[in-house]
Chain A
Amino acid sequence: MKKLAFLAGIPLLMIENVNALENISQIDMSGTIVRLISYLLGVCGAAYLAAGLWSRSEKGSQSWKYLSVSMILFVFWNIIGTFSILLDVLTIRKSTPGIVISDEALNTYIIIVKILDPVIAVIVFLILLFGLRKIIDAMRTKPWTVFGKEDEEEKSNE
């Protein structure tokens, strides 16, 4: 029971720490943590889904592979989002003692993130569009290929 009581107190301790950090650095730490957690959840979900779709494409239609690639790129997009949140925090708190990072390095990282973020977003949604078109084409012409294993001839044609 004591252990359970201790566990119940953990969220309260975290909230206290978050409030303390908020006062020090004057940034919305609770909002930042929610964004960080949501991006990390997005990474986990997309990676798991990419693996599932890839195994589906191995056993069925190849059109699932496009969606799998789209999800893998979505994982990278989420990682870049996470990285940009960390850079935002670093930019605000770089004057804090203990954080050693040069302005040049920070600016370079920010530029890389700012360029990669829209580029990957465009590629993700282009591949999604292409994958969905492949799936609907397969459903209209050869519906059995969407669920079952394709013949070798059909694979070579693709």
Chain B
Amino acid sequence: MNEEFFVVLNTIASMIVIICTVLSFQLLIGISRELKGLKTMDVMWTNFIILTNLFILLGITRAVGSICTIIFEGLQPVFEALLSVTLILFFVFAIQLSLSIEEITE
């Protein structure tokens, strides 16, 4: 397979990911508005919103990174570093959210 095919595939995928993440972010804003009336389960929902924001950030970083790398290859290490940092933060908040979900479920 030639290189152009992968460039087109990556670009289309990145655009779909960007659209999905923007729409997800709008939905997340809606969820946080709905949560304003809730007094219980604050920790779980706070962790949920932070984690989903990180997940959206991860998607955008990856998508923008893959488009920018096509234009200028020198930017690749910057985006890889950003992706690594976001993944480590994602791990921390995923554990916190799982623990708070477990507390509520029990």
Interface residues of A (CB under 8 A from B): 28, 31, 34-35, 38-39, 41-42, 44-46, 48-49, 51-53, 55-56, 59, 74, 78, 111, 114-115, 118-119, 121-122, 124-126, 128-129, 132-133, 135-136, 139-140, 143, 147
Contacts and interface: CB of A to CB of B under 8 A. Distances in A.
Name the residue among B24, B92, B104 with the largest chain A CB count within 10 angstroms.
B24
Nearest to A39: B87
Interface of A is mostly: helix
Contacts of A124: 59
A147 B41 CA distance: 10
B98 A49 contact: yes
A61 to B, nearest CB: 12
Contacts of B34: 136, 139-140, 143
A125 B24 contact: yes
Contacts of A46: 90, 94
Nearest to A36: B84
Interface of B: 1, 6, 9-10, 12-14, 16-17, 20-21, 23-24, 27-28, 30-31, 34, 41, 51-52, 55, 59, 62-63, 66, 77, 80-81, 83-85, 87-88, 90-95, 97-98, 101-102, 104-105
Contacts of B95: 45, 48-49
Contacts of B41: 147
B77 A48 contact: no
A118 B14 contact: yes
Contact of A121 (B62, B81, B92): B62
A122 B13 contact: yes
Contacts of A51: 98
A125 to B, nearest CB: 4
A32 to B, nearest CB: 10
Contacts of B102: 52, 55
B83 A121 contact: no
Given A48-B94, A121-B62, A129-B27, 12 more contacts: A35-B83, A41-B87, A41-B91, A45-B90, A49-B95, A51-B98, A52-B105, A53-B101, A55-B101, A122-B13, A125-B16, A129-B20
B87 A121 contact: no
